[in-house]
Amino acid sequence: MPHIAPRFLAEGPRVGIRPFRLDDAAEFTARARESKDLHRPWLFPPDNEADYAAYARTLIEDPARAGFLVCEKAAEDAVAGFVNINNIVRGAFQSGALGYGAFAHAAGRGLMREALGLVVRHAFGALGLHRLEINVQPGNTASIALARACGFRLEGFSPAMLHIDGAWRDHQRWALTAETVQGGASQV
């Protein structure tokens, strides 16, 4: 009997997460174009197929990155957003930095909170990570609210941390460790 791959790596009541695929380009880029007003000035996901191919390949092939599409189960698995784990460092650190974005049609509905919880559990489980960080520009209140709602703790402030949209931007640093999730202190 042939092996049938599971639809999702993990799923909750409303969303499932799965890896990026190159054939997701048309849907992902259409959603990115529809969401420019929501994403700017915080986020710049690829909005054409050539840029998507390069972006997806790094998430698929680079062992220091893991990318997950958030799919809405009630909408025939339509892509609702994405959560990436970037800068994965192994060894004694076992850490990664999260980046994420909802698409406009899915924003404000709690789908990303559910998805972020799934990715966190996957990262601390199957991926064997110990610590996850979220770096957020101080004015990005929606992203800060999501980090807080998922149990991440504010650890500090880094001036001119990342170069985004042509300038060095300040960021708040939020973090979560495996012990926090296993001990029940987290909301994920």
Residue 174's pLDDT is what?
A: 98
- In DSSP notation, 129-181 reads --EEEEEE-TT-HHHHHHHHHTT-EEEEEEEEEEEETTEEEEEEEEEEEHHHH
Residue 68's pLDDT is what?
A: 98
CA distance 50 to 118: 29
Q: Which domains are assigned to the chain?
A: 10-182 (3.40.630.30)
Residue 3's pLDDT is what?
A: 59
Residues of the chain below pLDDT 50: none
